[in-house]
Structure 1
Amino acid sequence: MYSMDNDIDHILVSEDALKAKVNELGAQISRDYAGKDLLLVSILKGSVVFMADLMRAVQIPCAIDFMVVSSYGGANTSSTGLVKIIKDLDADLTGRDVLIVEDILDTGITLSKLVPVLKMRNPGSVKICTILSKPSRRMADIEPDYCGFEVPDEFVVGYGLDYDEKYRNLPYVGVLKPEVYSGE
């Protein structure tokens, strides 16, 4: 029987490490946003797993909303540089403290275009929380306010991250074997 685990070269961040880091981030966010009107904004599809875990780890009242924003397409493994909003927020951001929840901050192109768009909607603040950051690939001047793990420049999947809509449901972050995404 086929197992997605067979396509993984090695595990970069274990399920236990993810759980511990999400609880740590949730505690920090709870402290930082106590008494504020917190809105967690999940950037779909990749952040859905992280968002579900993070919102349960946040111990203060918060609302959630979702956006679909893309600078990747299909089986592309690198950003196209073009950012489009496919599904916009339902919530009014006026005066609210917005925390963008992302799976990975890679080149930074998507968020560098999205943050100014959200700031034009008069929120109290806009900050970024990502479970993974790849600073070696950063092409835009943007950094996360909350970060789980810095990862090397390897093709990672799992915990919401995909390759061609596969592997999102792995409970860990793993490095995909090159032959899987290069077609060798």
Structure 2
Amino acid sequence: MDRSDVSADLADILLTEQQLGERLDQMAAEIDADYRDQDLLLVGVLKGAVMVMADLARRLHHTVEMDWMAVSSYGSGTKSSGVVRILKDLDTDLTGRNVLIVEDIIDSGLTLSWLVSNLRSRGPRSVEIATMLRKPAAAKVEVDVRYVGFDIPSEFVVGYGLDYAEKYRNLPFVGTLAPHVYGG
């Protein structure tokens, strides 16, 4: 899928496929250096992190294990309350492991803060975070993120795993939707 397939739905492209790929190369190099000769478990947060996790893992130059979690935040509409329910838990024991949570985007930080606490309670050696996108202006809690792809404005974005009504995840870039799509 490319821009021409959804051009009427897009307002702008914030990050191109090339920009995303170049930043992932840099992030992978940092992760390789930081975890040289160490085990690493990548934990993806479904569904949004699928693209980031796959592309990041392929760029790493040492073997890693991967596992997935699905969590649901309760709140009103599109706002997270930070009250979280696990929909799909990890299959991997975290005891003594280096864990890298892989996210597509960090908004308020409420759900991620809960997730970090939950995973740290399972006895890992370390828990760090890698995210492709972060919205600093939307943060409600401070979350220490070790690897950040891009800081972006507090706009609703789609593509590269991010969706609106379960659509647009498979765009190879990150863009903003035209207001007529979401009634804005």
Q: Normalised by the size of structure 2, how large is the TM-score?
A: 0.93
Q: How do residues 39-78 of structure 1 correspond to structure 2 at under 5 angstroms?
A: 39-71=41-73, 76-78=77-79
CA contact (8 A) 1:157 1:168 kept: yes
Query: How many angstroms does 1:160 deviate by?
Result: 0.1
Query: How many angstroms does 1:13 deviate by?
Result: 0.4
Q: How do residues 100-119 of structure 1 correspond to structure 2 at under 5 angstroms?
A: 100-119=101-120
CA contact (8 A) 1:105 1:133 kept: yes
Query: How many angstroms does 1:176 deviate by?
Result: 1.2
Q: In the alignment, does 2:138 pair up with 1:140? A: no
1:130 aligned partner: 131
Tell me how far apart the structure 1 counterparts of residues 108 and 25 of structure 2 sit (CA, whole Å): 26
1:11 aligned partner: 13
Report the CA distance shift for 1:12/1:72 in structure 2 as closer, same or farther (over 3 A).
farther
2:31 aligned partner: 29
Query: How many angstroms does 1:138 deviate by?
Result: 0.3
Report the CA distance shift for 1:62/1:144 in structure 2 as closer, same or farther (over 3 A).
same
Provide the identity percentage.
53
CA contact (8 A) 1:105 1:144 kept: no
Report the CA distance shift for 1:72/1:15 in structure 2 as closer, same or farther (over 3 A).
farther
Q: One-letter code of the match for 2:78?
A: T
CA RMSD, 1 decimal:
1.7
1:161 aligned partner: 162
Report the CA distance shift for 1:133/1:72 in structure 2 as closer, same or farther (over 3 A).
farther
Tell me how far apart the structure 2 counterparts of residues 67 and 166 of structure 1 sit (CA, whole Å): 21
Report SS of the residue matched to 1:132. strand
Deviation readout 1:30-72 (Å, 9 max, x if unpaired): 1101111100000000000010000001111210000001226
Tell me how far apart the structure 1 counterparts of residues 141 and 71 of structure 2 sit (CA, whole Å): 16
CA contact (8 A) 2:81 2:110 kept: no
What are structure 1's unaligned runs of at least 5 residues? none
Deviation readout 1:65-111 (Å, 9 max, x if unpaired): 000012268x9433243211100000000111000000001100111
Q: One-letter code of the match for 1:50?
A: V
Deviation readout 1:94-149 (Å, 9 max, x if unpaired): 11100000000110011111111100110000000000000100001213110000
1:151 aligned partner: 152
After TM superposition, which residue ranges in structure 1, 4 or more long, deviate above 3 angstroms?
none
